[in-house]
Amino acid sequence: MGSNEWHIERRFSFETESPLSREEGNSPEIGSLSIVVLGASGDLAKKKTFPALFHLYCQGFLPQDQVCIFGYARTKISDDELRNRLHGYLVPEKGVSPKQLEDVTEFLNLIKYVSGSYDSEDGFHLLDKEISNHESSINSVEGSSRRLFYLALPPSVYPSVCKMIKTCCMNKSDLGGWTRVVVEKPFGKDLGSAEELSNQIGELFEEPQIYRIDHYLGKELVQNLLVLRFANRLFLPLWNRDNIDNVQIVFREDFGTEGRGGYFDQYGIIRDIIQNHLLQVLCLVAMEKPVSLKPEHIRDEKVKVLESVIPIKDDEVVLGQYQGYKDDPTVPDQSNTPTFATVVLRIHNERWEGVPFILKAGKALNSRKAEIRIQFKDVPGDIFKCKTQGRNEFVIRLQPLEAIYMKLTVKQPGLEMSTVQSELDLSYRQRYQGLAIPEAYERLILDTIRGDQQHFVRRDELKASWKIFTPLLHRIDKGEFKPIPYQPGSRGPAEADELLEKVGYVQTHGYIWVPPSL
């Protein structure tokens, strides 16, 4: 099936069958779709939200005769001014075709702008009026319209914005229509603040209306985890403590905070990356097979994993801060915020007892990548004496150069019986030539429109994840746990590698995975 045919087929399924009508027994009639991006003038909206909407439009998922996109922010600008600001984020840097320019123009014409504050009803009444005008213009039956509010805003304004939406902008839901709210991370700073935020939003909206977005759950290789684990007989008997020695989930960046020092310093690497992105990946690696692919069944199993994690030990944590971090004028001179962390989590259940899950994230390191590395135990009775070459590993490269490969020991070609490390490799760029991998935000926004919460964080899941890290975070905030200085461009503190060795990880020396060339 060609890519154009694939787009047409997916558009047909979207337009002819409403997910809401299937799940909730409502009328299958589809009304207008209004997408409101709150914080429309901010970086997140310009760099991620609007481009994701544009790509969905190009693939036929946002039909012109149904959809209107509204930007809302405090900045007083016109529709055309917002469109001009967005234009550069939608057009490729080079090689723009006439068709692409036409798509950009058509998409921008779907966008309208409303200016107003985030805690006053005046702006939201005006927004509601504009949405209602759009619904009337396409003769949408009252109560069948769909309203999606994307909060590309700081969490501090979530409660007031949600209150304004509830007071001024709700859609009636008696004829298949709905109102849904997408909230970005960070969902609080610890267990207490996250619960307070959940209570404030929960008083206004039902859980099925709230979509807590973690863009890592929209990444292609993260979404592949369930298929790899539960659709391949090969892995079923291997995926346990009898065969797996350790699991590493790694996020590395080769640059520092780069102008975001003031923001980053409020959170640190654990809140920014580990407590949400990497912990979500851990859940998918460690969870039991769900009863079905229904969102609640999958999220039930993720919560069971989180609730099985035992308290973090001090001697299984290494924190680091790259030298030069505090040179940023927006960062306090005495900042104790870690820019690097290696944390070992242990899951107390039958499948994973004794297996360390190593979560590692850092900025200003020697490479940029995110991957899952599952290391198997040594071969008993090793007759080839090849233990020093390294263990079998199953590696899922999330970014960049998406790939899945298995590190194996094989015979070195030649007359001698000598062994060498090699791999079985599925590199997406080579295997799926010409097929664009969707951005995470595209997939997750489409899931929100369809009413599929599988890849969004449920409230009890959020609570369980904060419960794991809050004691450690409080100690860091109080200055009781100090980060170790490390050189930018290094692997991070040497103590982190020592911790990996201590918990059983065996590094392969002399082997480097090289992505296959086209």
Active site residues: 277
- Residue 165 has a CB neighbour count (10 Å cut-off) of 22
- In three-state secondary structure terms, 200 is helix
Sheet hosting strand 356-362, strand order edge to edge: 419-427, 403-411, 393-399, 369-376, 244-252, 356-362, 340-346, 317-322, 484-486
For residue 270, give Cα distances in angstroms to 79, 252, 457, 472: 39, 13, 18, 10
Name residues whose C-beta falls within 8 Å of residue 281's C-beta, 6 or more positions apart in sequence.
216, 222, 225, 249, 372, 398
Torsion sign across C-alpha atoms 321, 325, 331, 332: positive
Residue 298 token pair: 């999958």
Task: Check: CB of residue 397 under 8 Å from CB of residue 403.
Answer: yes
d(CA 10, CA 438): 14
For residue 381, give Cα distances in angstroms to 241, 260, 385, 386, 387: 19, 52, 9, 11, 10
- Type of residue at 154: P
For residue 227, give Cα distances in angstroms to 99, 249, 284, 382: 36, 18, 11, 32
d(CA 377, CA 503): 13
Residue 390 token pair: 């390294």
